[in-house]
Amino acid sequence: AQSVTQLGSHVSVSEGALVLLRCNYSSSVPPYLFWYVQYPNQGLQLLLKYTSAATLVKGINGFEAEFKKSETSFHLTKPSAHMSDAAEYFCAVSGGGAQKLVFGQGTRLTINP
């Protein structure tokens, strides 16, 4: 079985500041890990994914995440926040056979001008 814990349901940063969204996972097999973003009244959009290749993964819109097996973490970062980054972010893990994605509770990111 697999699970995801996102630390902090709400994160607020100033425009231009570092964005750090935390995700810890649990999986009985080597995991595949994903970050999705959801803008208001829209579906989820893939930001990036880790599938056992490079541990530092670069995604769209300047986001990146680092897989740390020893810490069972997959935190999402962006060096400089932009107003357009305000959204809900979901970490997800796939540890099973036929791609069963399990999502975390989500972190709402607010950008202050």
Contact positions vs another protein (CB under 8 A): 4, 9, 32, 34, 36, 41-46, 49, 51, 90, 92, 94, 96, 98-106
What's the Cα-to-Cα distance from 52 to each of 20, 58, 69, 80, rounded to whole Å? 22, 14, 11, 27
The answer to whether 47 and 59 are in contact (CB under 8 A) is yes
> Of the two residues 17 and 64, which places its CB atom closer to another protein in the complex?
64
> Of the two residues 77 and 108, which places its CB atom closer to another protein in the complex?
108
Q: Minimum CB separation from another protein for residue 55, in Å? A: 15
* CA gap 78, 80 in Å, rounded: 6
> Of the two residues 89 and 113, which places its CB atom closer to another protein in the complex?
89
Q: Minimum CB separation from another protein for residue 51, in Å? A: 4
- For residue 21, the cross-strand partners are 76
Q: Minimum CB separation from another protein for residue 92, in Å? A: 8
H or E element in which residue 2 lies: none
Q: Minimum CB separation from another protein for residue 99, in Å? A: 5
* CA gap 40, 38 in Å, rounded: 7
